[in-house]
Amino acid sequence: MTHKIIIDTDPGIDDAMAILYAALHPDIEIIGMTSVFGNVTSDIAARNAIVLAERAQQAIPVAKGADKPLVQTPNPVSDYVHGVEGFGDMPAQAISAQPVDEPAHEFICRLINENPGEITLCPIGPLTNIALALRHDPSIADKVKDVVIMGGGLDRGNVTDHAEANIWNDPHAADAVFAASWPVTMVGLDVTTQVICHPPDFARIAAASPVLGGFLNEAVQYYFKFYESHYGVLGSQMHDPTAVIAITDPQYFTIENHALEVIVDGARIGQTIRSADPSRPKHKVPMGVDIDGVKQRFLTMIETGF
Ligand code: RIB
Ligand code: CA
């Protein structure tokens, strides 16, 4: 089965892992990417998405998206996690293509309307563009095949004890996404924090795939330093690639079904919670994961291209 996907992204080191996994996967067609603020500014995110498409030698249109959240004052970009230019210590990378001349949310709506029932929307950054797309054309909720996000967490946070970064960066947008009547799979910290790759794993893919594996191995060194200093773990939590693997390999996940809402103010701002609101649809929430299955799926794809 071919998965036609749109990746909404703030690359970002783990975003790069997700995008290159998707670009290499024989059953995935990335029909477009859209940039959003978060790990970096939306401008840098758009440039970095083009960098990744060009490294993968694929002509993937990239549309620039939101520079700031729907309502709240923007949080600072997380350059202490992903580096100033988004790929660790790497300087800004040259590109030959430019973003398309269409705002991200309109680009998303147009592609979904042109491919009704076929597109999996895969947001792996703050959900601002996705909420704007819903506002621009609410009918996309009935036309999209799936919405598989990296974000949230029912029993944990990372930027605070309660909030995961993508939700924390735009809680109002995330709440609108969970309230809509489309099928959402929330791949959150409940599973992504369990999937950790270590320096030998990235050395392995760099040896097997000098261009793409080598790029990821260079970028991830900065991420390793962050995780070691903050968590005492010399490893990379595989947040964004785990979300894409939930599309291609759902068998690796144990799913619960919950209606979801997001706390949008106060001490727990950005927390995703089970909702008692009967008007909200139930969404899929992976709560269990075959850790080694997901790890090996990612590593083997980068190593071999299948
Ligand atoms: O909390 C992890 C998420 O926030 C990932 O998508 C990472 O890239 C950052 O955007
Ligand atoms: Ca991301």
pLDDT digits (tens, 9 = 90+) for 233-250: 999 999 999 999 999 999
Ligand 1 contact via 170 beta carbon (within 6 Å) = no
Residue 237 alpha carbon, nearest atom of ligand 1: 2
Say if strands 236-237 and 196-197 run parallel, antiparallel, or are unpaired.
antiparallel
Residue 38 alpha carbon, nearest atom of ligand 1: 10
Could you tell me the distance, in angstroms and rounded to a whole number, from the CA of residue 278 to the centre of ligand 2?
30
DSSP state of 252: G
CA dihedral 87, 88, 94, 95 (to 10 degrees): 0
Quote the CA–CA distance of 264 and 280 in Å, as a whole number: 17
Q: Quick one: which H or E segment has residue 239?
A: helix 239-248
Please report the pLDDT score of residue 54 as a whole number.
98
Structural domains of the chain sorted by starting position, each given as residue range(s) with its CATH number in brackets = 3-304 (3.90.245.10)
Please report the pLDDT score of residue 71 as a whole number.
98
Please report the pLDDT score of residue 179 as a whole number.
98
Please report the pLDDT score of residue 155 as a whole number.
80
| Residue segments in the chain with a per-residue pLDDT below the cut of 70 | none
Closest-CA residue, ligand 1 atom 1, reads: 165
Please report the pLDDT score of residue 115 as a whole number.
98
**Ion ligand 2 neighbours, Cβ < 5 Å:** 10, 12, 15, 124-125, 240
The candidate with the shortest Cα–Cα distance to 130, out of 166, 170, 173, 101, is 173
Cβ–Cβ under 8 Å, residues 183 and 283 = yes
Please report the pLDDT score of residue 131 as a whole number.
98
Please report the pLDDT score of residue 7 as a whole number.
99
The reply to whether 239 belongs to the active site is: yes
The candidate with the shortest Cα–Cα distance to 191, out of 248, 266, 141, 246, is 246
Ligand 1 contact via 14 beta carbon (within 6 Å) = yes
Please report the pLDDT score of residue 172 as a whole number.
98
Q: Quick one: which ligand is closest to 39's CA?
A: 1
Please report the pLDDT score of residue 297 as a whole number.
98
Quote the CA–CA distance of 117 and 146 in Å, as a whole number: 9
